[in-house]
Amino acid sequence: MQNINGIVSVEINNKIALICLDNPPVNAASQALRDGLQKALIWASSQNDIGVIVIYGAGRTFVAGADIKEFGKQPLAPFLPDLVNEIEQAEIPVISVLHGTALGGGLEIALGTHARVGIEGLKVGLPEIHLGLLPGAGGTQRTPRLCGIPAALDMILSGRHIHAQEALEMGLIDKLYDGQPRDVAMEAAQEVLIGKLETHRTDQIITKSNNVHLDEVEARLLQTHSHLFSPHKCIEAVRACSLPIEEGLRIERQAFEECMETPQRAGLIHAFFGERSVSRVPESKIAPRQVEHIGIIGAGTMGSGIATTCLMAGLRVTLIENVQENLNEGTAKVKRNLQDSVKRGKLQAENLSKTQSLLQPALGIEYLDQVDLVIEAAFEDMDIKKEIFRKLDSVCKAGAILASNTSYLDINQIAAITSRPQDVIGLHFFSPAHVMRLLEIVVGKKTDPAVTATGFSLAKKLRKVGVKAGVCDGFIGNRILAHYRKTAAYLVLDGAHPQQVDQALESFGFAMGPYKVTDLAGLDIDWMTRRRKAPTRPKEERYSGEIADRICESGWFGRKSGQGYYLYKGRDIHTNPDIDAIINAERQKAGITVQKFNNKEIVKRYMTAMISEAVRVLEERIAARPLDVDMVFLFGYGFPRHRGGPLHYADTLGPQELISRIETYAKEDSHYWKVPDMLRQMALDGTKFSDLNG
């Protein structure tokens, strides 16, 4: 065994050279792995009488891609595309054994080998598009040669994982085996030596151009993803696959480097690492409590959604209502959600009945005496919640965690009425709870760190993105939303049309503008919030709810009533001409001189408002890090992923630009537009939000 550099080793066994890649956790193609692999190939080729070289991975997967941590830094040789070419041009046949998730640069290494074998359970893919990139080590040139342009383009533009059998049928791998990587490496190598497993060079396959298909896909992309950069560069690179491979690889490299330079690549990589590091909180070093049986109080939309997500994670669920009819309705909704999850491929059909059997509907809180954790999802009323928690305190076993799904109420107040405030926490799910990935973990003053740790462990089990939040009205997301939604309302009062505001934010990258979102959620919910907050609204605050109040008073609550800011006929959505009269009447009543706003100005105001409140949430330690705010908005509020989140986006503007915008707007409304002290300090220190994510 020749240990090349601690990550790569080579073993000679008769005429076979076995190169083992061992770079946990996912064998990322770091500079050390590339350097070791290159040296191993040279060393193996220099040995006498080697008939075949096999590359395989140790651990849970073959190479899962280039090392994303190296992006944005000075690239270091050997460069992956060059290494793949060296593999392909080797005189001794080189084959690869793929297991786990051979993705991106990992699959590209394999495409440079002269035969690829997979191990059962393998998934392959070219997910670079999710990082704002394209396959930059030959994937756009070799994949079409192996499986044709349409299949290659689908793989590159979707970034999807392809299961082993499909990969075999597509021609991406040559044979499927079962067993451990090293044993399969030996078996496949011996088959090469006896001619049972053929080897071939991908670069010698000629691909016919298919510009008709490429033009069709490009046209569709311009409709759906015109704001994204890398999909168009993917097509540009794939177009070159009918040229000699040296030319194609040059065009691919050029396109890759252009993508690497974009803010979209930086935003998507921030999102990738943020999703993983957001759960790294001090409490995650503490052992969580055991949770196998969950009690849920309230079988309404949220309760049934939360029950669904817990059942899908294999947890037992006792679902509580106080009226049989509501319990039946909620139970039926859970079953529909599970069937919907099967349709969406989130739950295997063969697991449906077993999953449903974990659900135990019951009338009365006394059935929760043995659960490990309760999630209260009752009506958003503090008195109702206090009454429930009083009962839970007397019914639940010692050590049971008592959580509320409240979206803004004070967890400390709820905890204070129990004899176990240390076991009380907020677990704020987002509707639909079995689809939305965000879970705000709201930590009270007295919450035991082990309870917080359990919140994060539950989030992982539910495949949610858990974000730690402090206690304030609305925690992180709804607190910030409540602020910047006023900007949208002020813009409409002052001259913009709701549909224009939506279009402006959709062109910025939001899937839906704020008026479509509020129509979808139900205008009555915001109406209730405005009335709840009316008694405590500061007198200096410019009221932003006049137009929305009039719309609600007309009984128009959005999609659920067929009419809101828009008209809903079946799945069609149209502007609602009846709101123009309401808007004009309110402007007249307020004596407003109508202004014109262009889309750029709408986005500037909206984003500046969002960022300024996000900074205040950081100042008050409601969120510990800027990335916590970013992940809340990426996973709970449809913030465009390629922009990385509000504060990652703020770094592209800089604190000084934000301060000057706020100071300009403050001339119109000094109560609403205030520069947070933290932003001024950042401008003085030259600090970026990314510096605060450590």
**What residues act catalytically?**
108, 128
Interaction pattern, residues 479-518, with ligand T1G; x per rule: CB under 6 A: ----------------------------------------
Told to check if 58 binds ligand T1G by CB under 6 A, we report: no
Q: Can residue 105 be called a binding residue for ligand T1G (CB under 6 A)?
A: yes
CB of 284 to ligand T1G, least distance (A): 11
Q: Judged by CB under 6 A, which of 37, 53, 54, 80 binds ligand T1G?
A: 80
Crossing angle (nearest 10°) for helices 245-260 and 230-239: 170
Q: Which residues pair with 574 in a beta bridge?
A: 567
Q: Is the peptide bond before 135 cis (omega within 30 degrees of 0)?
A: no
At a CB cut-off of 8 Å and minimum separation 6, what does 215 contact? none
- Return the SS3 of 446: coil
d(CA 342, CA 363): 28
Q: Do residues 448 and 454 lie in contact, with contact meaning Cβ atoms separated by under 8 Å?
A: no
Contact status: 101 vs ligand T1G (CB under 6 A): yes
- Residue 33 vs 377, nearer CB to ligand T1G: 33
CB 281 within 8 A of CB 468: yes
Q: How far apart are CA 410 and CA 145, in angstroms?
A: 60
Rounded Cα distance, 128 and 274, in Å: 17
Q: What are phi and psi of 140, to 5 degrees?
A: -75, -15
Pairwise CA distance, residues 465 & 673, whole Å: 31
Q: Which stretch binds ligand T1G (CB under 6 A): 104-112, 193-201, 427-435, 584-592?
A: 104-112
One of 139, 288, 558, 655 touching ligand T1G (CB under 6 A)? 139
Ramachandran angles phi, psi of 230, nearest 5°:
-70, -30
Binding-residue total with ligand T1G (CB under 6 A): 25
Binding segment for ligand T1G (CB under 6 A), chosen from 84-92, 102-110, 203-211, 403-411, is 102-110
Which of 131, 173, 401, 523 forms a contact with ligand T1G (CB under 6 A)?
131
Q: Does 25 bind ligand T1G (CB under 6 A)?
A: yes
102 lies in the site for ligand T1G, by CB under 6 A? no
By CB under 6 A, tell whether 84 contacts ligand T1G. Answer: no
Q: To the nearest whole angstrom, how small is the minimum distance from the Cβ of residue 652 to ligand T1G? A: 22
Q: Does 463 bind ligand T1G (CB under 6 A)?
A: no
* CA distance linking residue 260 with residue 68, whole number of Å: 11
Rounded to a whole number of angstroms, the minimum distance from the CB of residue 269 to ligand T1G is: 9
Closer of 125 and 676 to ligand T1G (Cβ): 125
Applying CB under 6 A, the span of 123-131, 261-269, 456-464, 504-512 interacting with ligand T1G comes to 123-131
Residue 178's Cβ-count burial label (10 Å; 0-12, 13-18, 19+) is exposed
Q: Which stretch binds ligand T1G (CB under 6 A): 100-108, 215-223, 281-289, 580-588?
A: 100-108
Q: Is 466 in the site for ligand T1G (CB under 6 A)?
A: no
Distance CA 299, CA 684 (A): 51
For ligand T1G, the binding residues in 379-408 under the rule CB under 6 A are: none
C-alpha 629/C-alpha 693 separation (Å) is 11
Burial of 577 from C-beta contacts in 10 A (0-12 / 13-18 / 19+): exposed
Nearer to ligand T1G, 138 or 288 (CB): 138
As measured in angstroms, the least distance from the Cβ of 134 to ligand T1G is 7
Q: b/e string for 223-258 if b means 16 or more Cβ within 10 A?
A: eeeeebbbbbbbbbbbbbbbeebeebbebbbebbee
Residue 137 is a binding residue for ligand T1G (CB under 6 A):
yes
Q: Cα separation of 118 and 171, whole Å?
A: 12
- Rounded to the nearest whole angstrom, what is the least distance from the CB of residue 465 to ligand T1G in the complex? 12
CA nearest neighbour of 54 among 39, 40, 33? 40
3-class SS string, 52-69: EEEEEECCCCCCCCECHH
Nearer to ligand T1G, 55 or 334 (CB): 55
Which of 16, 21, 26, 451 touches ligand T1G by CB under 6 A?
26
Nearer to ligand T1G, 136 or 288 (CB): 136
- From the list 135-143, 410-418, 524-532, 574-582, the region that binds ligand T1G by CB under 6 A is 135-143
- Residue 688's region, left for phi above 0, alpha for psi from -120 to 50, else beta, is beta
Q: Is 668 exposed, middle or buried (0-12, 13-18, 19+ CB in 10 A)?
A: exposed
Of 36 and 498, CB closest to ligand T1G: 36
Segment near ligand T1G (CB under 6 A); pick from 22-30, 51-59, 444-452, 476-484: 22-30
611 binds ligand T1G (CB under 6 A): no
| Span interacting with ligand T1G, options 10-18, 134-142, 363-371, 377-385, rule CB under 6 A | 134-142
Q: How far apart (Å, rounded) are the C-alpha atoms in residues 504 and 490?
A: 15
Residues in the chain: 694
Out of 66, 259, 291, 629, the only residue in the binding site for ligand T1G (CB under 6 A) is 66
Give the nearest distance from C-beta 70 to ligand T1G in angstroms: 8
- According to the binding rule CB under 6 A, does residue 103 interact with ligand T1G? yes
- Taking the complex as a whole, the smallest distance from the CB of residue 283 to ligand T1G amounts, in Å, to 17
* Contacts of ligand T1G in 271-300 (CB under 6 A): 273, 276
Based on the shown chain and the rule CB under 6 A, indicate whether residue 65 belongs to the binding site for ligand T1G.
Answer: yes
Integer Cα distance of 638 and 15 in angstroms: 56
- Residue 285 amino acid letter: K
Residue with tokens 């002290």: 677
**Does the bond joining 432 to the residue before it have cis omega, within 30 degrees of 0?**
yes
Q: Among 10, 20, 21, 28, which residue sits at the site for ligand T1G (rule: CB under 6 A)? A: 28
Question: How far apart are alpha carbons 562 and 566 in whole angstroms?
Answer: 8
Tell me the C-alpha distance between 694 and 692, whole Å.
6
Assess 136 for contact with ligand T1G (CB under 6 A).
Answer: yes
Tell me if 104 contacts ligand T1G by CB under 6 A: yes
- Distance CA(644)–CA(635), nearest Å, equals 11
Q: Which is nearer to ligand T1G, 69 or 445 (CB)?
A: 69
Tell me how far, at minimum, the Cβ of 645 lies from ligand T1G, in Å. Answer: 17
- Least gap, CB of 80 to ligand T1G (angstroms): 5
132 contacts ligand T1G (rule: CB under 6 A): no
Write out the residues near ligand T1G by the rule CB under 6 A.
25-26, 28, 64-69, 80, 101, 103-105, 108, 127-128, 131, 133, 135-137, 139, 273, 276
